[in-house]
Amino acid sequence: MKFVLLWSDILFFLLIAAVVAGGAWASRVEHLRLAWRQVGQSRVGMATATVLIAFVLVAMLDSLHYRERLPGTQGEHLLGAQENYAVEVRSALDAVLTELRTRTEKTYSAPLATHLFAKESLDADLGRDFPRLKHGGAHLGEDLTAHDHDIAAKAIKGLGLGLLGALAFGLASLPLRRAAPHLAWNAQLATVLVLCLLAGVIVALAGDYHVLGTDKVGQDVLYLTLKSVRTALLIGTLTTLIMLPAAVVLGLLAGYAGGWIDDVIQYLYTTLNSIPGVLLIAASVLMMQVVIDTHPEWFATAAERADARLLALCAILGITSWTGLCRLLRGEALKLRELEYVQAARALGVSGARILWRHILPNVMHIVMIAIVMDFSGLVLAEAVLSYVGIGVDPNTISFGAMINTARMELAREPMVWWSLAAAFAFMFVLVLAANLFADVMRDAFDPRVVKR
């Protein structure tokens, strides 16, 4: 096995490390610690944070990449020949979901089905009928009378496994709950219980059935959905990481300095806002694709090529999405620079850079933090729309938008193939809803204009 480190993996883990370091720093600052305590005391905050952490854990597993070593002959091993590795790059999530990844069918099959979704010509005697799946329900043999009973029994078994998992989590987190009894642990435990019950049922059923069905080429939809989580999180987080420095620096500089600096920055983001966003993104993505296609020697594997396009899309979305936060910070800086403590710092000869760093930036961080979380959900939806129109991620990259784009042509057929679209919509809905609700809790905790209860 040879570990592969993609650029998106590096940036994603650096971002997680930065969040952990920021949390450690915030715990030593009194007003930030009180604000985060208010987030923890909120039932909605703890529940949505638990859901978001579950998504992050899936994305972290999918960000540990490797290439499998190809088996060599005994003679090559004795001669000490160079080891060869597979071209395909896989992740730890692929290893965990090996059964889902390898158990492919011929084409569409409905969730928990035992036959294909469309009729086919079997032979001269039987005519046209629904063929049996190779893997879905294969353990039942030819007798399908126990199909419903088998699903119910496995679901009950999965509920039991999920309950045991939730109890294990509750016992493991007991010292933490005793150390911070003021937090809304009941909401977190209830959310963990629901997640464990759902995961237990899915695990119990996924061993013998396709829980969410299969797509046009027979791939398990549950596997595709879980693989799409990493793409959604990368688009939401890395794009924010790219646009944040420009938005903060230019916004504060325009509001504090004023004059011709303010005019230039205003002209810059006004001009950028006047260009239709989809057209600008489409033109930029197509230009980047030309660069990637003309330099195949830059990429050793297809995964590195797809990763380059993903990072390019993040950069393009970041360049086109910083203007809103910049405008907000400019307006806030215009107000703060007229306050008495800023005027006193000026009169004492404090430099402008120090005033921005020590007096203005800390007072706009609540806007920055709220904008980060709220922009995240918008960027996740933007990826789905861009992939739907064909200018999103690489075709080899699994994403919610790619799943929706693949499923859209099947919505017009009769009977309709609905499960691919429904699975992508459900996971994306839960992710975006959790991010938006968490953003509301953060706004109430960090915005000084909101009356604290």
- Residue 156 banded pLDDT, cuts 50, 70, 90: very high
Each residue's pLDDT tens digit, 288-297: 878 887 888 8
Residues β-bridged to residue 115 = 132
| CA distance linking residue 28 with residue 38, whole number of Å | 16
Cβ(131)–Cβ(115) under 8 Å?
yes
The letter for the amino acid at 323 is T
Q: Which helix (H) or strand (E) holds 121?
A: strand 120-123
- The reported pLDDT for the residue numbered 82 is 66
Distances (CA, A) of 112 to 129, 210, 220, 359: 18, 5, 11, 59
CA torsion 124→127→129→131, rounded to 10°? Answer: 10
pLDDT tens-digit profile of 26-82?
Answer: 788 787 788 888 888 889 999 999 999 999 999 999 999 888 887 764 555 545 556
Q: Would you tell me how many other CB atoms lie within 10 Å of the CB of residue 78? A: 8
Give the pLDDT score at 72.
62
Average pLDDT, the chain: 84
> What are φ and ψ of residue 143, in 5° steps?
-90, 105
The rounded Cα 396 to chain-centroid distance in angstroms is 17
**pTM of the predicted structure, to 2 decimals:** 0.86
- pLDDT of the residue at 430: 92
274: left (phi over 0), alpha (psi -120 to 50) or beta: alpha
Q: Kindly give the residue spans of alpha helices, DSSP state H, lying in 275-409.
A: 277-294, 302-320, 323-336, 340-347, 352-355, 365-388, 400-407
What dihedral angle (degrees, nearest 10) is formed by the CA atoms of 423, 426, 430, 431? 50
CA distance 217 to 149: 29
Give the span between the Cα atoms of 302 and 292, in whole angstroms: 11
The pLDDT tens digits for 115-152 are 888 777 766 565 677 788 888 888 888 777 888 898 99
Neighbours of 53 (CB within 10 A): 15
Number of C-beta neighbours around residue 71 at 10 A: 8
Structure tokens at 365: 């961080």
Is 116 in contact with 238 (CB distance < 8 Å)? no
Helix (H, G, I), strand (E, B) or coil at 91: strand
